Amino acid sequence: MQFNFNNPYTTTRLPVFARNVVSTSHPLASQAGLRMLWRGGNAVDAAIAAAAALTITEPVSNGLGSDAFAILWDGKKLHGLNASGRAPQSWTPDYFQGKYGSGPSNPPKRGFDSVTVPGAVASWVALSERFGKLPFADLLEPAIEIAERGYLLTTVVQQKWAAATPELQALPGFAQAFLPWGRAPEVGELFQFQAAARGLRAIAHTRGQALYGGEIAQAIEKFSAQHGGSLKASDFAAYQPQWVQPIAKNYRGYTVHEIPPNGQGIAALIALGILDRFDLSALAVDGVDSQHLQIEAMKLAFADVYRYVAEPESMDVTTEQLLDDSYLAARARLIDMKRAQDFGAGNPVKGGTIYLSAADENGMMVSFIQSNYMGFGSGCVEPNFGVSLQNRGHGFSLEPKGLNPANLVAPGKRPFHTIIPAFLTQNGQPVMSFGVMGANMQPQGHLQTLVRMLDYRQNPQAACDAPRWRYNMGLEINVEAGMDRTSVQGLAERGHRMEVINDSYQDFGSGQFIWRAGDPKVHGYVVASDSRRDGLAAGF
């Protein structure tokens, strides 16, 4: 691929070129990953160190109680890891109806009844055991140091911290952990997280067992019971992440890989499969026709994903049926170039989050994502070990006859999940590890950045910096304030109901991209980090 390295968009970032690289949404996390590479570690070691550091430096997006997914190129083969959490054994529709009545369609948004067993730490251990080079405890040293000594708060993280405080300040453990002076820290103030340092040390010394059935799990069980939850240490002890085969779809001579359901990565593949029927390169990159086509393809994808995707064992259609070429061709024919539409699901049956990427000169590439889901997640923070717990349980359905019955809550089941790492190959060889964080913005970000790179040859940093749109529901979309005004007007004339948004972090996600430029020992990588967060692409 010969990229155009002229960047037409306003940005504070330039692409980075190096042989050993880490790209994350916080500079200290990127540096933690580089420390492992300097020590002789590989890309997996770097990714784990960066992920652990991010639980401290960006707690608005993730924590020790996060879930995670990864796609890894080991030098010869692609591997997928699903470390999303499972429901406590007590969770049934009757459990929630008994506590909250028959009205809610989902479990609560916050509190202990939104918490499934977190999988992120288990993903670190699994990746380290199978592919890492350095001792597991070494990988957590930078995060422990940052938690103990503290760090000065960065601009974007502080903004989101302050914004979340009114909703979360009364939740169990939140104020003790995250409001050290009775308020959110200010930009440039020192934040220390001694409890999380204790948690990280216990995890490091036991290779994760302290959290999965040990002293941390016991502490969480006690804390949960004190505040009306039903999480048990036995739920943690029973947890195991799952190695999976990524699903894939060809696009413009490349192959895009995503984690299979229960995640939403298939939405990006469906939308790309629809767009593959159109010659986007003949349309202006920021023009109304190109943007309209992408939006409509994304709508069609989400219509099917929200109807069918859940735990694979619960789905009544297969991923193969959803990605079938003839089915996608039929869906593509529904697009009207002159008007926006509100699509329903088809019938394919025949008969906050953080994202990071790391790569090394030996060719190993890691696409990794972990998340507490909505901002600080459940808002519940175990006080002795600083475990900030996600709220992924809110993604379950409580309605047996709802939009997606396959996503009905059940003991030990995984909910529909939004976080999705991605990977790009060509002719069976690695090309790019990438991802875009931000709830349902994630497949939309995958779609928009890939189209810019593969159809329009924009370099990864330019594709990352370009203004984005976000589909919400029905005919409603958001667009970034920097989007071409003529295109915005043209979309409105076709019936898209738009709101122009200035807060890019909140609505349009943030990505990291590592593109392999050739033999990594010789040419290395082209690396981008999204300017919508405090991130850093770094290498040597």
Residue 261 CA to residue 319 CA, distance in Å, equals 8
Tell me which residue has tokens 């890891």.
81
Residue 208 CA to residue 215 CA, distance in Å, equals 11
Nearest to 393 by CA among 95, 165, 26, 77: 95
DSSP string, 410-468: -TTPPPPB----EEEEETTEEEEEEEEESTTHHHHHHHHHHIIIIIT-B-HHHHHHS--
Instruction: Select which of 154, 353, 418, 449 is catalytic.
Output: 353
**What is the phi/psi pair of residue 366, to 5°?**
-125, 130
If DSSP states are collapsed to H, E and C, what string results for 338-357?
Answer: CCCCCCCCCCCCCCCEEEEE
Dihedral sign, Cα of residue 336, residue 342, residue 345, residue 351: negative
Q: How many CB atoms lie within 10 A of CB 324?
A: 15
Which DSSP state fits 110?
S
By the 8 A CB rule, do 463 and 513 touch? yes
Nearest to 417 by CA among 477, 372, 462: 372
Residue 25 CA to residue 38 CA, distance in Å, equals 20
Cα 6 to Cα 14, 71, 246, 462, 468, distances in angstroms = 10, 30, 33, 8, 19
Residue 67 CA to residue 418 CA, distance in Å, equals 11
SS3 483: coil
Establish whether 353 is a catalytic residue: yes
By the 8 A CB rule, do 393 and 65 touch? no
Cα 468 to Cα 75, 340, 451, 452, 498, distances in angstroms = 33, 17, 12, 11, 13
Q: Which two tokens stand for residue 396?
A: 């379950």
- What is the rounded radius of gyration, in angstroms, for the C-alpha atoms of the chain? 22
Q: Which two tokens stand for residue 87?
A: 């429901």
Catalytic residues: 353
